Structure 1
Amino acid sequence: MKLDKFVLAIAIAVILAYYFPQLSADNAYVTLNEVSSVGIALIFFFYGLKLSPEKIKAGLKNWKLHIVIQSSTFLIFPLIVLIFYPFLQNEQQRIIWLSVFFLAVLPSTVSSSVVMVSMAKGNIPAAIFNASISGIIGIFVTPLWMGLFLHQQQNNFNFSEIYFQLIVQIIIPVILGILLQPKLGKLATRFSKELSMFDKSIILLIVYKSFAESFETGIFSGIKWIDLVILFMLVLVLFFMVYAIVYTISSLFSFSREDKITALFCGSKKSLVHGTVFSKVLFSNLAFAGLMLLPLMLFHAFQLLIVSIIAGRFAREQNQPKKVG
């Protein structure tokens, strides 16, 4: 398989943050913080433009599938990570655990979920519906989950301030996009590639700034290579545990092949777009903001690889001629 160009771009952004952290300084005429704030609002405005109210209403019928996917995204993922909370022994372990927990409470990704479901011959309308709804639910649920533990790391953590930023930068742009969808929706679809490039550019800015600040404060100095290996293994285990649980639940509910594929792919993925955006809002005052993104970046690269392989296998099985007699 070819290396995903966006994953490579993220790696380059981290390297630039390590060698040139001064580019993120806040003494410039227009700071990266201001650019990324405006970029976040535009990302979610365009996200709202792509949401079709008619398709969302039509997708409500398959409610069992939707409950399984959203439960996996916002309940099964975080509950698995919560199991390990009582075993934390020091501050470094708590920070690493919190970064994995942040990954666990994020919504599902939209574009890659739909692409993979399409590749595997799954239920594409249900994938579009769940990926879209997941993003909306995450705007409210992810900060609530994180608020349970962030106050321990951030003395000045203020829920009202967090939600004010979410309302201004995310909720209002989404609502505005949905309201303008009948007029501008087709335009957003026509320029979907350009909008995707814009989304990725803003993500790269946020990744760069987060890691630059973390490198400058020396937050990674106490982390060894073995810690990164362990972190990557934890991410792998988390993915396969959720995948196995969703597979079991889908079998118990006797989902069709198409619905099972959709449940597996949408229920086991996490959104890098929402993760980087939420990190800017939730961790803006934390020195270890870069570390909070590390499990998500590892998970993003891994899910692209392994889900592509699984989707290809499902597609080959579907295309195989059935034996007669």
Structure 2
Amino acid sequence: MRFISVIKKEWFLVGMVVAILLAMVIPNVGKSAGFLHLDVVTSAGIALIFFLHGLGLSPSAIKAGVSNWRLHLFVQTATFIAYPLLWVVFGDGLHLLMPSALAFGFCYLFVLPSTISSSVAMTSIAKGNVPGAIFNASLSSVLGVFITPFLIQVFMGLEGVEMDLMATIVSISTLLLLPMVIGQLLRPVLIHFIERHKTVVNKVDKVVILLIVFNAFSDSVAEGIWQGFSPTALFIAVALSFIILLVAAHGITWSASKCGFSREDEIAAVFCGTKKTLAAGVPMAKVIFGADPNLGMFLLPIMFYHPIQIFYCALLANRYASQAEKSHVQSVP
């Protein structure tokens, strides 16, 4: 009975493990365009998350998110300065550890913008500054359209990079801003219904994260990225991805505390500052690298990093949420 009680309490973490195991066993079910069409389902889930955020956010909260310039500067610095500096410092060492194409894949990983969906979802789960996360995630994606190709040119010497800025902005707006605006418009009508069913609503983002994990791992297994390379190269790539995430997550946490951020802002900084986007990274790579035969190697690090960051950040989000619940209970007389 105690075991069942623990599973019920930690159902989200248990679900993460189950999602990974299922992806290994039945990848064709969970992969994009697979039996469940999770690429479509998760896109709808992401839109639903932002719609619910739009319902839940008061206009004053949104204004606070936009005006928090210290948080925005911190997150964008972490994304587009601190991460690329890792390549400046360790790039030569990476070339010694692995083939050049795989090493440049880590270069590409470092210069990518942050994710939108999971950054906001994790911030929400952890009871952090959701308006700040929404603003920073979307700002990072827009800035990445300009900064990522520029840094690739600087580090890898590519020329003639062209990006469809308008299409990217439209895509981001459709994914993020439109559902949120609709939620804001319907807030006066639906806010009381949402508050009455808060218990169910609070589980929506966790369920969507579980589906994203299943989809991400299924895609990686179905595409065979776990094979085709030497076990040593795969181990080094996976280990480096995990080490990079640990260094980034704990370095940002430490830096945020030194900057005097509130707990809510620290959470937004951690989840927006550590994330790197796979959804935008793959199509962006096709534009930047074209028909380069090394494209698969360039994408391998972000393919590894993506599910690792979701899994580890889910653990962090769950820990932050538990701490918030304990603080709330202790503060209640």
Tell me, yes or no, whether TM beats 0.5.
yes
Q: Are the counterparts in 2 of residues 78 and 105 from structure 1 also a CA contact under 8 Å?
A: no
Structure 2 CA distance for aligned equivalents of residues 235 and 228 of structure 1: 11
What residue is the counterpart of 1:294 in the other structure?
A: 307
CA contact (8 A) 1:78 1:101 kept: yes
Corresponding position of 1:254: none
- What is the correspondence of 1:18-29 to structure 2 with a 5 Å cutoff? 18-23=24-29, 24=31, 26=33
Question: Does 1:246 pair with 2:256?
Answer: yes
Answer whether contact 1:162 1:282 (CA < 8 A) is retained.
no
Partners in 2 of 1:55 and 1:22 — Cα distance? 42
3-state DSSP of counterpart to 1:224: helix
Q: Distance in 2 between matches of 1:160 and 1:94?
A: 28
Taking a change above 3 Å as real, the CA distance of residues 6 and 234 of structure 1, as seen in their structure-2 partners, is same
After TM superposition, list the pairs within 5 Å mapping 1:46-125 onto structure 2.
46-57=52-63, 59=64, 66-86=68-88, 87-88=90-91, 89=95, 90-99=100-109, 102=112, 107=119, 109-114=122-127
CA contact (8 A) 1:143 1:282 kept: no
Distance in 2, matches of 1:177 and 1:232, equals: 36
CA deviations over 1:200-239 (Å, ceiling 9, x no partner): 3333333323322222222233353344333322222222
Letter in 2 for 1:228: V
Task: Map 1:193-204 onto structure 2 (within 5 A).
Answer: 193-204=199-210
Instruction: Give runs of aligned pairs for residues 158-177 of structure 1, distance below 5 A.
Output: 158-177=164-183
Letter in structure 2 aligned against 1:173: P
User: Deviation at 1:104?
Assistant: 5.6
Distance in 1, matches of 2:113 and 2:139, equals 15
Contact 2:115-2:278 at 8 Å conserved across structures: no
Tell whether the 8 Å contact from 1:18 to 1:211 is kept in structure 2 after alignment.
yes
For the structure 1 residues 186 and 279, does the alpha-carbon distance in structure 2 shift closer, same or farther, using more than 3 Å as the test? farther
1:32 maps to what in 2?
38
Q: Sort the Cα spacing of 1:37 and 1:285 in 2 relative to 1 into closer, same or farther, 3 A.
A: farther
Does the CA contact (< 8 Å) of 2:24 and 2:217 recur in 1?
Answer: yes
Distance in 2, matches of 1:6 and 1:146, equals 34
Q: Specify the alignment match of 1:283 in structure 2.
A: 282
Deviations 1:28-52 (A, max 9, x none): 5x73333233222222111211111
Counterpart of 2:242 (choices 220, 232, 236) is 232
Q: How does 1:130-209 map to 2 (within 5 A)?
A: 130-145=129-144, 148-149=147-148, 158-209=164-215
Identify if the C-alpha distance between structure 1 residues 229 and 311 changes in structure 2 by more than 3 Å, giving closer, same or farther: farther
Aligned length: 285
Deviations 1:233-265 (A, max 9, x none): 222222232223223332xxxxxxxx6444444
Helix, strand or coil for the counterpart of 2:225? Answer: coil
- Shift of residue 105 of structure 1? 6.6
Confirm or deny that 1:269 pairs with 2:264.
no
What is the CA distance between 1:170 and its match in structure 2? 2.3
Please tell me the residue identity of whatever aligns with 1:142: S
Alpha-carbon distance in 1 for matches of 2:111, 2:16: 21
Q: Which deviates the most, 68-77 or 97-106?
A: 97-106
Would the alpha carbon gap of residues 196 and 96 (structure 1) be closer, same or farther in structure 2, given more than 3 Å must change? Answer: farther
Q: Which runs of 5+ in 2 are unaligned?
A: 1-5, 286-295
Q: Contact 2:113/2:141 (CA < 8 Å) preserved in 1?
A: no
Q: Which residue of 1 aligns with 2:218?
A: 212
Q: Aligned partners of 1:304, 1:206: CA distance in 2, in Å? A: 16
CA deviations 1:112-158 (Å, max 9, x no partner) are 443xxxxxxxxxxxx5xx432321332232243266437969x9964
* 2:53/2:183 contact within 8 Å kept: yes
AA partner of residue 205 (structure 1): L
TM-score, scaled relative to structure 2? 0.67
Partner of 2:50: 44
For structure 1, the residue ranges without an aligned partner over 5 or more in a row are 115-126, 251-258, 320-325
**Partners in 2 of 1:206 and 1:38 — Cα distance?**
11
Structure 1 residues 267, 33: closer, same or farther in 2, change over 3 A? closer
Q: For residues 284 and 46 of structure 1, do their structure 2 counterparts lie closer, same or farther at Cα, with a shift above 3 Å needed? A: farther
Deviations along 1:262-314, one digit per CA (max 9) or x if unpaired, are: 44444333499xx69x644553697757434134224414524775798799x
CA RMSD of aligned residues (A): 4.1
Contact preservation (8 Å) 1:74, 1:105: no
